[in-house]
Amino acid sequence: MNTPEPGSRRIAVISDTHMPKKGTALPRACTAELHRADLIIHAGDLSDMGTLEMMRSIGPPVVAVHGNIEEPAVREALPGTAVIEVNGLRIGVVHNGGPAAGRLDRLRRRIPGTGLVVFGHSHVPLLHRADDGFAILNPGSPTDRRRRPRHSMAVVEVTGDGRFEIAFLAVDEPAGPLDPALVSS
């Protein structure tokens, strides 16, 4: 990702932290990115209220949705779908994007009027862009990589005119950019 343009907004995107089952703290590289962000998006499966409160205590505003394994208090505190606008870009957030076949069009229909839909559930980093610029994004998981070789998250830079760039980061050691070969499209 290049140097941010003046007025751009940095969004740190995570999902599927499954805490405290998968640990009591996020990886240092992930936490550092959350602190640098203007906004944090969590696409569900935080698991408990302590994790939600920890996310909110980091500093930037948090937009989060509930996933499928949340304790009842989290399901009551968070919506199943969220829509926000950042610098002219409407972003939808859900937990489960459904089966891979038809996912891009299905998420576009599910949250109309958005330029980007963030989802989680599979723990697989994914970026799929349509020809018109609409995109769907799964950041993977910073704490539960499942069958993936690295723990991951994403960072979205949104310019003042709603354009956006996405970078994937490996947050386990050694931290750094995620090998593009590990991102599904």
- pLDDT, averaged in runs of 10, over the chain (185 residues): 70 94 88 96 93 92 94 94 96 96 95 97 94 96 90 94 93 88 82
145 within a domain of the structure (yes/no) = yes
User: Is there a domain that residue 2 lies in?
Assistant: no
pTM of the model: 0.93
Looking at residue 6, its pLDDT comes to 63
Assess if residue 183 is contained within a domain. no
Count CB-CB contacts under 10 A for residue 58. 15
Q: What is the DSSP letter of 179?
A: P
Number of domains within the chain: 1
What local confidence, expressed as pLDDT, does residue 98 receive? 93
Q: CA 97 from chain center: how many Å?
A: 12
Residue 184 pLDDT = 84
We report the CATH number of the domain holding residue 132 as: 3.60.21.10
What pLDDT is recorded for position 1? 52
Examine residue 41 and state whether it is found in any structural domain, yes or no: yes
> Which domain covers residue 64, as residue numbers?
9-178
Residue 79, pLDDT score? 97
Say if 185 falls within a structural domain: no
- Looking at residue 182, its pLDDT comes to 81
Q: What is the strand order of the sheet 39-42 is part of?
A: 62-64, 39-42, 9-14, 152-158, 164-170, 176-177
Q: Is residue 51 within 8 Å of residue 156, measured between CB atoms?
A: no
- Per the rule left: phi > 0, alpha: psi between -120 and 50, beta: everything else, 19 is beta
The per-residue pLDDT for 76 is: 94
CB distance 141 to 152 below 8 Å:
yes
Cβ-based neighbours of 53, under 8 Å, separated by 6 or more: none
In this structure, is residue 34 part of a structural domain? Answer: yes
pLDDT at 23: 79
CB neighbourhood size of 180 (10 A): 10
Predicted local confidence at residue 5, as pLDDT: 64
pLDDT at 81: 97
